[in-house]
Structure 1
Amino acid sequence: MSTEPQLRAIADIVRVAGAGLWLRGGWAMDFYLGRVTRPHRDIDFLCRATDAGRIVAALRGLGYRDLPGNAPAGLQHDLETPAGVDVQVTLLGEDADRCPTVPAGPYAGTRWPADLLSGPPGRIGEVSCAIVSPRAQIEIKEMMPVWVPGLRRREKDRRDVARLRAAMAEREITPGRATIAEHENTPGRTTTAKHENTPGRTTTAKHENTPGRGANPGTMGA
């Protein structure tokens, strides 16, 4: 699909939904870089579970229709715009340390990177949107094949990580992910070892192999 309908959809979503949405995946990278770098299959957003009802109702008011999905209830909303753009809104919970978590389903309580929602606003042209932290996005893309044994590294993820690292270096931001020791000593962080040894880690394969649907909370994004 052309990126123009997707950009228009992002602008409309930001306009009607207001605060409480964060772009993730490939579009989050492009909004951080300030330009479109590659085609995107769909648009992926994150929102807190407490905001989901308000946000989804606003999108339905734009004529968005619900799509059938395989995710457990309370985990995500799969929608399609009148122009045929796929939009996924993935919900976030929060633990006692205020770290974002998977809110429902068999992996409820699994932590996302603690700095997931601390990214700077992104912009392409006249469209501005909150985005996930570039550092967290790099961690997710690099570590997902470790968290999910047998998951292949995608070439587009390697290219995305390289673009993000180069942009962060230009802005003098250290892009490297935290070490295992740093995870263990930082309140609210999940250790790499925990992810590797916890069977409940959300898998990419579960939803990326589902025909017609996008990624689930543990995936790298489109």
Structure 2
Amino acid sequence: MDNKNVGKEFEKTQSQLKIIYEINGISLSLNNVLWLRGGWAIDFLLGRITRTHSDVDFVSWIQYREPLEQALVCAGFQIIPVSEYQTDFLKNDVDVSIVFVKRSEEGSIIANGFPEWVWRSDALSTQFYNLQGVSVCVLNPHQLLEEKKTYELGTGRKLRSKDFESMKIIQQIIGAMD
């Protein structure tokens, strides 16, 4: 990779980190906790950046959807409605996806849209992880692994090489935790 591309990759990563910081701050100002998922969640768990990411993925409680969407729009994010349980945003060429979850009557964590996806009871950790001065909660590694394993069911797309690599890294993280 030439220096020009390395510079662009670095700028993209730094822009995404700034967006993670900004969205997390907005969410906390609403007394809501967000959780990172996907590739950025893995990086925060490891405390280092493993690769360039195409987007930023978050999870939030459904009851915070409207105030969070309004606050992000006021902060200059373009809103892109996706479904009843997902909203995407765009700011400074950074794509952000927020999946909204709820508790069932039995107390389970449910993410709809896949068609109804019941998550592990410990999916939403309250531990903050730090990376380059940014501090945020991430999904439990076991939940991240389950999400990767069910990726094809939810999206209808085949697992990509980065998904297999992510599963390997997540399994290493889980192994180190045990």
Normalising by the residue count of structure 1, what TM-score does the alignment of the two structures yield? 0.67
Corresponding residue to 1:24 among 24, 31, 37: 37
Are 2:171 and 1:165 aligned?
yes
Quick one: distance in 2 between partners of 1:89 and 1:150?
Answer: 20
Specify the alignment match of 1:76 in structure 2. Answer: 86
Equivalent positions of 1:54-65 (< 5 A) are 54-65=67-78
* TM superposition shift of 1:16: 1.6
* TM superposition shift of 1:149: 10
Specify the alignment match of 2:158 in structure 1. Answer: 152
Task: List per-residue Cα deviations over 1:20-73 (Å, max 9, x = no partner).
Answer: 211111111111111110111111111111011121122112111113x5x33x
Specify the alignment match of 2:46 in structure 1. Answer: 33
Quick one: distance in 2 between partners of 1:54 and 1:127?
Answer: 23
Amino acid at match of 2:162: K
Indicate conservation of the 8 Å contact 1:119/1:133, yes or no.
no
Amino acid at match of 2:166: D
Quick one: distance in 2 between partners of 1:125 and 1:163?
Answer: 20
Decide whether aligned partners of structure 1 residues 87 and 94 sit closer, same or farther in structure 2, where only a CA change above 3 A counts.
Answer: same
Amino acid at match of 1:137: L
Q: Which runs of 5+ in 1 are unaligned?
A: 174-222
**Percent of matched pairs sharing the same residue:** 28
Greater helix share, 1 or 2?
Answer: 2
Indicate conservation of the 8 Å contact 1:32/1:121, yes or no.
no
Q: Which runs of 5+ in 2 are unaligned?
A: 1-8
* TM superposition shift of 1:144: 3.3
Specify the alignment match of 2:55 in structure 1. Answer: 42
Are 2:21 and 1:11 aligned?
yes
Indicate conservation of the 8 Å contact 1:65/1:80, yes or no.
yes
Indicate conservation of the 8 Å contact 1:119/1:132, yes or no.
no
Quick one: distance in 2 between partners of 1:150 and 1:59?
Answer: 30
Q: How many equivalent residue pairs?
A: 165
Decide whether aligned partners of structure 1 residues 119 and 163 sit closer, same or farther in structure 2, where only a CA change above 3 A counts.
Answer: farther
Decide whether aligned partners of structure 1 residues 60 and 137 sit closer, same or farther in structure 2, where only a CA change above 3 A counts.
Answer: same
Specify the alignment match of 1:209 in structure 2. Answer: none
Decide whether aligned partners of structure 1 residues 15 and 150 sit closer, same or farther in structure 2, where only a CA change above 3 A counts.
Answer: closer
Greater strand share, 1 or 2?
Answer: 2
Quick one: distance in 2 between partners of 1:149 and 1:15?
Answer: 30
Task: List per-residue Cα deviations over 1:115-147 (Å, max 9, x = no partner).
Answer: 2213632220210101111111112212334x4
Amino acid at match of 2:15: P
Indicate conservation of the 8 Å contact 1:44/1:87, yes or no.
yes
Normalising by the residue count of structure 2, what TM-score does the alignment of the two structures yield? 0.82
